[in-house]
Amino acid sequence: MLEVIEAGTIPYAEALDWQRQLAEDRIAGRLPHDVLLLLDHPPVVTLGRNSHVGNLLEPSGIEVFEVERGGDVTFHGPGQLVGYPILDLSAYKRDLHWYLRTLEQALIAALAVLDIPAERNAGFTGVWTRGKKIASIGIHVKQWVTWHGFALNVTTDLAHFDRIVPCGIQGVEMTSVERETVKGERERLWDESAGAVIAGFENAFGVSVIPSPEGAARQEHASLRT
Protein backbone atom coordinates (compact mmCIF):
# COMPACT_ATOMS: atom_id res chain seq x y z
CA MET A 1 0.00 0.00 0.00
CA LEU A 2 1.24 3.48 -0.89
CA GLU A 3 -0.34 6.42 0.92
CA VAL A 4 -0.25 9.50 -1.32
CA ILE A 5 -0.29 12.84 0.48
CA GLU A 6 -0.81 15.93 -1.69
CA ALA A 7 0.50 18.50 0.75
CA GLY A 8 0.46 21.83 -1.10
CA THR A 9 3.27 24.36 -0.74
CA ILE A 10 5.72 23.67 2.10
CA PRO A 11 9.00 25.46 2.93
CA TYR A 12 11.92 23.22 2.08
CA ALA A 13 13.30 22.95 5.63
CA GLU A 14 9.94 21.78 6.98
CA ALA A 15 9.46 19.24 4.21
CA LEU A 16 12.99 17.94 4.78
CA ASP A 17 12.24 17.42 8.47
CA TRP A 18 8.92 15.76 7.60
CA GLN A 19 10.38 13.22 5.19
CA ARG A 20 13.30 12.43 7.51
CA GLN A 21 10.86 11.73 10.34
CA LEU A 22 8.66 9.58 8.10
CA ALA A 23 11.72 7.61 7.00
CA GLU A 24 12.81 7.04 10.60
CA ASP A 25 9.27 5.95 11.46
CA ARG A 26 9.29 3.53 8.51
CA ILE A 27 12.66 2.10 9.56
CA ALA A 28 11.49 1.65 13.16
CA GLY A 29 8.17 0.08 12.14
CA ARG A 30 6.07 2.91 13.56
CA LEU A 31 4.78 3.67 10.05
CA PRO A 32 3.26 0.45 8.68
CA HIS A 33 3.10 1.45 5.00
CA ASP A 34 4.93 3.44 2.34
CA VAL A 35 4.19 7.13 1.72
CA LEU A 36 4.53 9.42 -1.30
CA LEU A 37 4.58 13.14 -0.48
CA LEU A 38 3.62 15.39 -3.41
CA LEU A 39 4.17 19.13 -2.94
CA ASP A 40 6.02 22.19 -4.13
CA HIS A 41 8.41 24.62 -2.43
CA PRO A 42 9.10 28.33 -2.35
CA PRO A 43 12.29 29.03 -4.37
CA VAL A 44 15.30 27.14 -3.00
CA VAL A 45 18.53 25.58 -4.25
CA THR A 46 19.76 22.25 -2.86
CA LEU A 47 23.24 20.77 -3.04
CA GLY A 48 23.58 16.99 -3.06
CA ARG A 49 26.51 14.92 -1.81
CA ASN A 50 28.27 15.10 -5.19
CA SER A 51 27.75 18.80 -5.79
CA HIS A 52 30.50 21.16 -6.98
CA VAL A 53 30.50 24.71 -5.69
CA GLY A 54 31.13 26.05 -9.17
CA ASN A 55 27.75 24.77 -10.32
CA LEU A 56 25.95 27.27 -8.07
CA LEU A 57 26.24 30.33 -10.28
CA GLU A 58 24.06 32.86 -8.43
CA PRO A 59 23.42 32.09 -4.73
CA SER A 60 22.33 35.57 -3.67
CA GLY A 61 18.69 36.13 -2.77
CA ILE A 62 17.75 32.47 -2.41
CA GLU A 63 18.02 29.85 0.35
CA VAL A 64 20.62 27.14 -0.21
CA PHE A 65 20.59 23.76 1.56
CA GLU A 66 23.25 21.08 1.65
CA VAL A 67 21.47 17.73 1.92
CA GLU A 68 22.23 14.01 2.02
CA ARG A 69 20.74 13.05 -1.34
CA GLY A 70 22.89 11.96 -4.23
CA GLY A 71 23.54 14.17 -7.22
CA ASP A 72 24.67 17.73 -7.74
CA VAL A 73 22.83 21.07 -7.54
CA THR A 74 19.16 21.57 -8.32
CA PHE A 75 16.43 24.18 -8.00
CA HIS A 76 12.99 23.78 -6.44
CA GLY A 77 10.24 26.36 -6.74
CA PRO A 78 6.56 27.10 -7.31
CA GLY A 79 4.94 25.06 -10.04
CA GLN A 80 7.44 22.22 -9.71
CA LEU A 81 5.87 18.93 -8.61
CA VAL A 82 8.25 17.49 -6.03
CA GLY A 83 7.80 13.88 -4.93
CA TYR A 84 9.33 12.36 -1.82
CA PRO A 85 8.75 8.58 -1.81
CA ILE A 86 9.25 7.01 1.62
CA LEU A 87 9.55 3.40 0.48
CA ASP A 88 10.88 0.30 2.18
CA LEU A 89 12.78 -1.29 -0.70
CA SER A 90 12.82 -4.59 1.18
CA ALA A 91 9.26 -5.04 -0.10
CA TYR A 92 10.34 -4.33 -3.71
CA LYS A 93 13.98 -4.95 -4.58
CA ARG A 94 17.12 -4.11 -2.60
CA ASP A 95 18.83 -2.52 -5.56
CA LEU A 96 19.44 1.23 -5.86
CA HIS A 97 19.99 1.04 -9.63
CA TRP A 98 16.60 -0.66 -9.96
CA TYR A 99 15.00 2.00 -7.77
CA LEU A 100 16.39 4.89 -9.82
CA ARG A 101 15.33 3.30 -13.10
CA THR A 102 11.85 2.58 -11.69
CA LEU A 103 11.45 6.20 -10.58
CA GLU A 104 12.37 7.24 -14.11
CA GLN A 105 9.85 4.77 -15.53
CA ALA A 106 7.09 6.14 -13.28
CA LEU A 107 7.76 9.65 -14.60
CA ILE A 108 8.05 8.52 -18.22
CA ALA A 109 4.67 6.81 -17.85
CA ALA A 110 3.21 9.93 -16.23
CA LEU A 111 4.39 12.14 -19.07
CA ALA A 112 2.91 9.71 -21.60
CA VAL A 113 -0.48 10.28 -19.96
CA LEU A 114 0.11 14.01 -20.58
CA ASP A 115 0.98 13.30 -24.25
CA ILE A 116 4.63 14.25 -23.73
CA PRO A 117 7.16 11.77 -25.18
CA ALA A 118 9.82 11.15 -22.56
CA GLU A 119 12.92 9.02 -22.23
CA ARG A 120 16.09 8.38 -20.30
CA ASN A 121 19.40 9.91 -21.31
CA ALA A 122 22.19 7.32 -21.20
CA GLY A 123 24.74 8.10 -18.53
CA PHE A 124 22.49 10.50 -16.60
CA THR A 125 19.75 10.13 -13.99
CA GLY A 126 16.44 11.87 -14.71
CA VAL A 127 13.93 12.19 -17.52
CA TRP A 128 14.21 14.05 -20.82
CA THR A 129 11.82 15.06 -23.59
CA ARG A 130 12.87 16.19 -27.06
CA GLY A 131 16.45 16.60 -25.86
CA LYS A 132 15.55 18.77 -22.85
CA LYS A 133 15.44 17.77 -19.20
CA ILE A 134 12.00 17.86 -17.60
CA ALA A 135 12.51 15.90 -14.36
CA SER A 136 15.41 15.52 -11.93
CA ILE A 137 16.01 12.71 -9.44
CA GLY A 138 18.16 12.56 -6.31
CA ILE A 139 17.71 10.00 -3.56
CA HIS A 140 18.94 8.91 -0.15
CA VAL A 141 18.51 5.43 1.33
CA LYS A 142 19.03 4.24 4.90
CA GLN A 143 18.44 0.60 5.88
CA TRP A 144 16.69 0.25 2.49
CA VAL A 145 14.16 3.00 3.27
CA THR A 146 14.18 5.88 0.77
CA TRP A 147 13.68 9.61 1.00
CA HIS A 148 14.34 12.65 -1.17
CA GLY A 149 13.11 11.80 -4.68
CA PHE A 150 12.16 13.66 -7.86
CA ALA A 151 11.19 17.08 -9.21
CA LEU A 152 8.97 17.39 -12.28
CA ASN A 153 8.74 20.85 -13.83
CA VAL A 154 5.05 21.55 -14.43
CA THR A 155 4.53 25.32 -14.54
CA THR A 156 7.96 26.18 -13.12
CA ASP A 157 9.57 29.52 -14.03
CA LEU A 158 12.52 28.04 -15.90
CA ALA A 159 14.53 31.27 -15.60
CA HIS A 160 15.42 30.16 -12.07
CA PHE A 161 17.63 27.43 -13.52
CA ASP A 162 19.96 30.17 -14.76
CA ARG A 163 21.19 30.35 -11.16
CA ILE A 164 22.79 26.90 -11.42
CA VAL A 165 24.29 24.31 -13.72
CA PRO A 166 21.33 21.92 -13.35
CA CYS A 167 22.47 18.59 -11.92
CA GLY A 168 26.01 19.60 -12.92
CA ILE A 169 25.26 18.97 -16.61
CA GLN A 170 26.90 21.66 -18.72
CA GLY A 171 24.70 22.96 -21.52
CA VAL A 172 21.53 21.17 -20.41
CA GLU A 173 18.26 22.86 -21.37
CA MET A 174 15.42 22.57 -18.86
CA THR A 175 11.77 22.39 -19.86
CA SER A 176 8.35 21.90 -18.28
CA VAL A 177 4.97 20.28 -18.82
CA GLU A 178 3.58 23.74 -19.56
CA ARG A 179 6.18 24.42 -22.24
CA GLU A 180 5.83 21.00 -23.87
CA THR A 181 2.03 21.03 -24.12
CA VAL A 182 -0.63 23.38 -25.39
CA LYS A 183 -0.70 25.90 -22.59
CA GLY A 184 -3.76 25.59 -20.42
CA GLU A 185 -5.00 26.74 -17.06
CA ARG A 186 -2.12 26.37 -14.60
CA GLU A 187 -4.12 24.71 -11.83
CA ARG A 188 -5.48 22.18 -14.33
CA LEU A 189 -1.97 21.36 -15.55
CA TRP A 190 -0.87 20.82 -11.94
CA ASP A 191 -3.80 18.56 -11.09
CA GLU A 192 -3.40 16.53 -14.29
CA SER A 193 0.35 16.16 -13.69
CA ALA A 194 -0.15 15.01 -10.08
CA GLY A 195 -2.76 12.47 -11.19
CA ALA A 196 -0.47 11.19 -13.94
CA VAL A 197 2.45 10.78 -11.50
CA ILE A 198 0.27 8.81 -9.10
CA ALA A 199 -0.82 6.52 -11.94
CA GLY A 200 2.82 6.19 -13.03
CA PHE A 201 3.78 5.02 -9.53
CA GLU A 202 0.97 2.49 -9.49
CA ASN A 203 2.17 0.98 -12.75
CA ALA A 204 5.93 1.17 -12.25
CA PHE A 205 6.04 -0.05 -8.65
CA GLY A 206 2.97 -2.33 -8.80
CA VAL A 207 1.40 -0.71 -5.73
CA SER A 208 -2.11 -0.01 -4.56
CA VAL A 209 -2.41 3.73 -4.06
CA ILE A 210 -4.55 5.18 -1.32
CA PRO A 211 -5.12 8.96 -1.52
CA SER A 212 -4.85 10.42 1.95
CA PRO A 213 -6.79 13.59 2.74
CA GLU A 214 -6.54 12.76 6.44
CA GLY A 215 -4.07 9.88 6.63
CA ALA A 216 -2.07 9.04 9.72
CA ALA A 217 1.19 10.36 8.32
CA ARG A 218 -0.49 13.62 7.29
CA GLN A 219 -2.21 14.13 10.63
CA GLU A 220 1.01 13.61 12.59
CA HIS A 221 2.68 16.44 10.69
CA ALA A 222 -0.28 18.79 10.24
CA SER A 223 1.74 21.71 11.57
CA LEU A 224 4.13 21.41 8.60
CA ARG A 225 1.46 21.98 5.96
CA THR A 226 0.51 25.31 4.46
CA distances from 130 to 106, 119, 173, 178 (A): 18, 9, 10, 14
Question: CB–CB of 174/161 below 8 Å?
Answer: yes
Active-site residue identified among 158, 164, 167, 172: 167
The region that residue 148 occupies, defined by phi over 0 for left and psi between -120 and 50 for alpha, beta otherwise, is left
Distance separating alpha carbons of residues 28 and 22, to the nearest angstrom: 10
Q: Which of 169, 165, 132, 171 is nearest to 59 (CA)?
A: 165
Give exposure, 123-137, as e/b (b: 16+ Cβ within 10 Å): eebbbbbeeebbbbb
What count of other Cβ atoms lies within 10 Å of the Cβ of residue 70? 18
- Told to judge if 207 belongs to the known catalytic residues of this protein, a careful annotator would answer no
Residues with catalytic function: 167
